[in-house]
Structure 1
Amino acid sequence: MTTPKISVVVPIYKVEECLAWCLDSLLAQDMPDWEGVLVNDGSPDGSRDIAAAYCEKDARFTLVDKENGGLSSARNAGIAASTAPIVAFLDSDDRFTPDACRVIVDAFEREDCDVLTFGANPYPLEAGYPWLNQVLSPRDVSFHGYSFELLFKENSRPFVWRTACRRDFLANNAIQFDESISYGEDQVFEMAIYGRSRKTTLISNKLYDYRVARKGSLMDTMRYDDETRLLEHVKIYSAVLADWHRDDLDAQHADDLAYFLCDLVLYDAIRLLGTGCGKVFDAVSTVLAGSAVGSDAALAQCAPSVAAIFRAALANKAPSARACRRLMFDYDVLRSGFLRACKRLAANILGKRDV
C-alpha cells in the first residue's frame, strides 16, 4: 500500500441507504494514494457492516468504532486516526467527484497553504437554490493570514466538507470540532481555521456532490422556524467567541466579530420587526456580557450601520417596524450596495425570504 497523501474522514451514523454510494466515490478516485477513515459513530443500523465490507475490499479504508457522540465527535476521532499530511471531510450521504483527491493534493502542493476550500454541486442539481448555489461557488484566490474578506465577503462558509486542512496545522493550533455544538458546528470550525491559517486558498473546482437537506430534516426545520434558528445561531456565535478568546483574536478583531453577529443573528432578528426578537436579544446580551465585542470602544471601530444594529439589540427593546426596516436598509447598503439594498427592502416589505 502506498503512503497516503490525503486522509478522507467519513463519519457514519444511520446511513445504510447511501453509504455505498458515498464510499464508491472514493474507490473511483483517479489517484491511488488516499486513505478513507470510516468512523462508525455507534450506528444502530447496518452501516457498520457496509463500512467493514469496504475495509475488507480495499486496504485503503480504515474502520474506527466509537460510542455515539455526534458528528463533531466522529470527525474528531477521524482526524486523530488520520495519517496523511492533508485531512478532508466527506459526509456519508454525499460523494466526491472522481478527481477530488488529486485536485486537492495538487492545490496544496502548488499553493503551500494551510487550508483549502473548493466548490461543490447540490445533489440533485435541481435541488439547488440561489443562496446555496452561490456559497458553493468560490472563486480562485488566496489569502495570507487573517482576512475579513475571506471570512465575510468570499463564498467560503458555512460548509466544512468542502474544506481540507494540513493535519499539522490543526494539531499545532489545537483545532478540533466543538462537540458541544450539534447545529452549526461547521461554522465554528471554519471560523477557527480561517482565523488562524497562515495561508488559505479558494479554488473554483466543484469537487463534491452535496445532498440537499431532506424535507423535515433538522436543517430544513431550522430554515423556517425563525426564533429557534436564531437562538441556535447565538449558540454558534458564543462558541466562536470562546474559541477566538483562546488566542486573543476576539480583542484583536472585535469589530469583525460585531459584523459577524449582525450577519449571523441580528439582521434576521430585526427582520422579525419586533414581534419575535426579544428572546434573541436576551440571548445575545448574555453572550456578550464581559466581552470586548459590543463595548463602546469596539463599536466606535465599526461601520455606523453595524453599531446601530448592535445598540438596538443591546438596548433589549424591540424597535418599531419602521426603525427595523431602516436598520436593515443601512446594513444592506454596507453589505451589498445601494441597488441590492433597495431590492431587499422591497422583499422584506413583501415578506419574502431572500434565499
Structure 2
Amino acid sequence: MATPKISVVVPIYKVEECLAWCLDSLLAQDMSDWEGVLVNDGSPDGSRDIAAAYCEKDTRFKLVDKPNGGLSSARNAGIAASTAPIVAFLDSDDRFTSDACRVIVDAFEREDCDVLTFGANPYPLDAGYPWLNYVLSPRDVSFVGYSSDLLFKEASRPFAWRTACKRDFLVNNDILFDESVAYGEDQVFEFAVYGRSHKTVLISDKLYDYRVARKGSLMDTMRYDDETRLLEHVKIFAAVLDDWHRDGLDVRYPGALACLLCDLVLYDALRLLGVDCESVLSEVRDVLGRSILSETNLDDCCSPAVSALVLSFKQGSISPSARWKLMFDYDKFRFGRRRALKRLVANKVGKFNV
C-alpha cells in the first residue's frame, strides 16, 4: 500500500458504545489515502474487538496494543506508529466530518506549515455554550514563528484533537504529550507546538464533531470543583514551564508565561475563590519560585495588568479591594473598558459566564 498522506491517531479506552460511530467517520472520508492508527490503551471492555473488526474490514486501519497508560501515553504510541507526513488526532468518542482529512492535507500542502488548527462543532449542537462555541471557531489566519497573539488572542486552545502537525516537526523537536499530566495535557502539547512552530495556520473550517463532556467524566467533574480545577491548572502551568525551559523558550518569552499563569490560574483564583484561595496561592508561589518569572522584571515584558496580577500572588495575601481592582484592570486589558465593567458587575453577583 502506498504511503498515506495523513495518519489519524485514535486512542481507545472503554468506548465500546461510540467507537463504531467514530471509526465510521474515517470510512466516510472523501479522500482515500489516510491511515487510522487505533491505539488500544488496555481497554477492559469490548472496544478492542470493535477496533480489530475494523482493521479486518479495511487495511487502512492498524491496531496498536499497549498496557493502560492514559490518553497521553496512547497518543504518543500512535505518533510512534504513524507513517504519514501529517499526524492528526481523533478522540474515540468524537468524529471527523467527511471532508476533514482532505481539507487538512490540502491546507498543509498549500501553506507549507508545521502546525494546523481547525474548527469544530459541539455534539450535539445544542450542547454548545458561549465559551466553547468561541474556542471551536478560529478565524483564517497564519503566523510565522512564535506569536503571543496566537496563544492568547486567537481561538487556538485548549483542544489538541483539532491540531494536526507535520510528523517530522514533532520528531525533530522531540514533542510528545506529557504523560505526567492527567488533566489539561492538551494545553501543554499546544504550548509545545505553538512555541516551536516555524509556521502555524488556523482555518475556520469545522472538521470535527466534539462530544461535549459526558456526565461523570473528569472534565465534567472539574467544571464544578473550582479549587481542584485551579490546582490542576497550576500543574499544567508547571508542565509548560518545564517543557519551555528545555529549549530556552522560557527565557525568550517570559511574558507569555506570565500571561498563561494569569489566564489559567490567577484571575480565576480571585474570581471563583475570592480572597480565600490560600491553597492555590501556596502552589502558585512554589511554582513561581522555581521559574524564570522569579528573576524577571515583569514590567519589561508584560502589560501593567498582567504584571500586577502576578506580583500580587508572589507577595502573598490580597485584600478584597485589591482583588476587584486586579480583576477589573486585567479584564480591561483583555476586553476593553466596557466589557470589563460588565464583568465586574457580573463577578460581584456570582455570574461567571459573562
Q: TM-score, normalised by structure 2?
A: 0.98
In the TM superposition, structure 1's runs of 4+ consecutive aligned residues that sit over 6 Å from their partners are: none
Cα displacement (A) at 1:215: 2.1
Cα displacement (A) at 1:290: 3.1
Q: Is the 2:75–2:177 contact (alpha carbons within 8 Å) kept by the matching residues of 1? A: yes
Cα displacement (A) at 1:101: 0.1
Q: Partners of 1:111 and 1:300 in 2: how far apart?
A: 34
In structure 2, the CA distance between the partners of 1:343 and 1:46, relative to structure 1 (3 Å rule), is same
Q: Output the amino acid matched with 1:340.
A: R
Q: Is the 1:9–1:36 contact (alpha carbons within 8 Å) kept by the matching residues of 2? A: yes
For 1:163-202, list aligned pairs within 5 A.
163-202=163-202
Give the 3-state SS of the residue equivalent to 1:293 in structure 2.
helix
Q: Partners of 2:323 and 2:227 in 1: how far apart?
A: 17
Deviation string 1:259-313 (CA, Å, 9 cap, x unpaired) is 1100110000111464431111110111121322143523443211111111111
Partner of 1:230: 230
Unaligned runs of 5+ in 1: none
Q: Is the 2:6–2:86 contact (alpha carbons within 8 Å) kept by the matching residues of 1? A: yes
Deviation string 1:62-95 (CA, Å, 9 cap, x unpaired) is 0000000000000000000000000000000000
Q: Is the 1:255–1:299 contact (alpha carbons within 8 Å) kept by the matching residues of 2? A: no
Cα displacement (A) at 1:216: 2.4
Say whether 1:330 aligns with 2:329. Answer: yes
In structure 2, the CA distance between the partners of 1:315 and 1:274, relative to structure 1 (3 Å rule), is farther
Partner of 2:109: 109
Q: Is the 2:72–2:178 contact (alpha carbons within 8 Å) kept by the matching residues of 1? A: yes
Q: Partners of 2:353 and 2:321 in 1: how far apart?
A: 19
Partner of 1:23: 23
Give the 3-state SS of the residue equivalent to 1:87 in structure 2.
strand
For 1:266-345, list aligned pairs within 5 A.
266-272=266-272, 274-317=274-317, 319-345=318-344
Give the 3-state SS of the residue equivalent to 2:302 in structure 1.
coil
Identity %: 75
Q: Partners of 1:262 and 1:142 in 2: how far apart?
A: 25
Q: Partners of 1:84 and 1:273 in 2: how far apart?
A: 46
Cα displacement (A) at 1:198: 0.5
Partner of 1:71: 71
For 1:245-284, list aligned pairs within 5 A.
245-272=245-272, 274-284=274-284
Partner of 1:119: 119
In structure 2, the CA distance between the partners of 1:211 and 1:272, relative to structure 1 (3 Å rule), is closer
Which deviates more, 5-14 or 280-289? 280-289
Q: Output the amino acid matched with 1:218.
A: L
Q: Partners of 2:296 and 2:170 in 1: how far apart?
A: 34
Give the 3-state SS of the residue equivalent to 1:38 in structure 2.
strand
Q: Partners of 2:106 and 2:279 in 1: how far apart?
A: 48
Q: Partners of 1:251 and 1:140 in 2: how far apart?
A: 30
Q: Partners of 1:55 and 1:324 in 2: how far apart?
A: 56
Give the 3-state SS of the residue equivalent to 2:113 in structure 1.
coil
Give the 3-state SS of the residue equivalent to 1:52 in structure 2.
helix
Q: Partners of 2:104 and 2:273 in 1: how far apart?
A: 44
Deviation string 1:167-211 (CA, Å, 9 cap, x unpaired) is 000001000000000100000000000000000000000000000
